[in-house]
Amino acid sequence: MTWLALFLSTTAVLWIYRERRHAFGSALAVTCAALAIGVVTFAGAQIIPTRVEALAQDWQQLSEYGDYDSSLGRRAELWQIGVAAVRESPMIGHGPQSTKPIIHDGFAKIGMEVNYSHLHNGFLNAWVEAGIVGALSLAAIFVVAAWLAVRTLATTAAPDARLGAVMLVALVTTYVVNGQVGILVGHDILDAMLMAFLAVGVYLAAGKSMLRDDVTYIWRFPWRVAFRR
């Protein structure tokens, strides 16, 4: 899924900047693109075929023999455990410390001794722990970021604003795609990158600098700002 996220985010960036063909026509740009394609192709040739073969074997093992003791099988069982936990408490969830024992007990029912700290689906994990409000709140972060990026790209030609929108597009694509089968939030590096890209991307795409008088006004009269149209 990381390879897929990389491909999709790169494609999105190239599509957004498709009108700047002259920028891709210089010798430096062509050289950099060729080197990047070469590196990715070399790395992918070493990894992707083996991963695809393993995926096919796991699928056969799961579909024909009902054996969940594989990378794909364990993820499938994790999702089933998560869905069952959501059905038990869809509104308020089971709490932030409940995921690990829920997973352990779920695998124990099929005779497997497996321990995971998360359900390998970020949105499902949030729903199990924090209920529907937690899942919707997490999804709203990416929905609002995507909406802001699309609106900015459609309404402005300012380079800094469009750069912020591109950062948000790359962020949403990478995190949402990877989050379907892995950790979405709750990891120190992932959370730090999420906050950094969100803060910079949102500020560039839609932020405005405030003068000292503006800051003083907001500090002294926050209710006026909140209800001002």
- The total of other beta-carbon atoms located within 10 Å of residue 168's CB is 28
Please give the average per-residue pLDDT across 162-181, as a whole number.
Answer: 93
**Residue 105 above 60 pLDDT?**
yes
pLDDT of residue 49: 79
Instruction: Give, in order, the Cα–Cα distances in Å from 108 to each of 56, 102, 103.
Output: 26, 10, 9
Give the range with max mean pLDDT: 72-76, 112-116, 136-140: 136-140
> 210-226 pLDDT, tens per residue?
555 565 655 565 656 55
> 48-103 pLDDT, tens per residue?
778 788 888 888 888 887 788 888 888 889 999 999 999 999 999 999 889 999 99
Please give the average per-residue pLDDT across 181-191, as a whole number.
Answer: 88
**Residue 132 above 90 pLDDT?**
yes
**Residue 229 above 50 pLDDT?**
no
Alpha helices in the chain (DSSP H): 2-16, 27-65, 71-88, 99-108, 122-155, 159-179, 188-206, 212-220, 222-227
pLDDT of residue 63: 82
pLDDT of residue 25: 60
pLDDT of residue 219: 59
Which one is predicted more confidently, 64 or 116?
A: 116
**Residue 145 above 90 pLDDT?**
yes
Instruction: Give, in order, the Cα–Cα distances in Å from 159 to each of 145, 148, 163, 206, 227.
Output: 18, 15, 6, 12, 32
> 3-58 pLDDT, tens per residue?
888 888 888 888 888 776 655 566 777 787 788 778 877 777 777 778 788 888 88
